[in-house]
Amino acid sequence: LAGGIILGVALWLRHDSQTTNILYLQLGDKQAPNTFYVGIYILIAVGAVMMFVGFLGCYGAIQESQCLLGTFFTCLVILFACEVAAGIWGFVNKDQIAKDVKQFYDQALQQALMGESDANNAKAVVKTFHETLDCCGSDIVTATFTPLWKDDLCRKDSLKNLFENTNCHKKIDELFSGKLYLIGIAAVVVAVIMIFEMILSMVLCCGIRNSSVY
């Protein structure tokens, strides 16, 4: 059940419309930064393997098999190590992910405003950001008071965001900090469950061993 829940959460994060709309964008030959998906792929793998390992542990307990329970314990240790690695990766990269996406957005915005090569592609990228996140402009653009509406890049109802400081940089930070927060919670929950299962499997193994001796 825990594996199924983790798998479901991971798949929801993977196919969330906001992140997929942004992270599948392409600016010329440059793909949008998608390192965010690394942690999600780890969760998907861990969730799927947890479901299989869970059945293995249940069957080993029913059959009172030390071999199966030992295998179950070993798999849990490996999965626990993967969860710790995912947690460390998320903590180290939580700020870098949003920073890379903001740089990608700023580059597209600059090309769209300056009329550089492939400006139509850049405008499409910028509009996708604006429509998906309901934002307009960046810290740099807001500071220089660039009239984005003249380039028809922002929705009319979002122009007020320029003056309310709800720009795309802020929205990107909110988006990825929220998603990484969910990944962190899922990783902690899985880690706690795994510790409990490892203790339980050791108790069962000791119980089976003692019963076989007597």
**pLDDT tens track for 60-108:** 778 777 787 788 888 888 877 777 777 777 777 777 888 888 888 888 8
- The answer to whether residue 159 scores a pLDDT higher than 60 is no
Amino acid at 77: V
Cα–Cα distance for residue pair 123/194, rounded to 1 Å: 47
> Lowest mean pLDDT: which of 6-15, 16-25, 117-126, 136-145?
136-145
- The answer to whether residue 131 scores a pLDDT higher than 80 is yes
Cα–Cα distance for residue pair 105/125, rounded to 1 Å: 8
Q: Which residue's structure tokens are 């071999």?
A: 67
Residues 6+ apart with CB under 8 A from 123: 112, 151, 153
Q: What average pLDDT does range 152-165 have in this prediction?
A: 56
Cα–Cα distance for residue pair 145/196, rounded to 1 Å: 56
Tokens of 198: 């490892």
User: Rounded to an integer, what is the distance from CA 141 to the centroid of its chain?
Assistant: 28
- The answer to whether residue 148 scores a pLDDT higher than 80 is no
The model's pTM? 0.71
147 band by pLDDT with thresholds 50, 70 and 90: low
pLDDT at 68: 79
**Over pLDDT 70: what percentage of the chain?**
80
Q: Is 31 helix (H, G, I), strand (E, B) or coil?
A: strand
Query: What domains, with CATH codes, occur in the chain?
Result: 1-212 (1.10.1450.10)
- The answer to whether residue 149 scores a pLDDT higher than 60 is no
213 band by pLDDT with thresholds 50, 70 and 90: very low
Query: Of residues 148 and 125, which shows the higher confidence score?
Result: 125
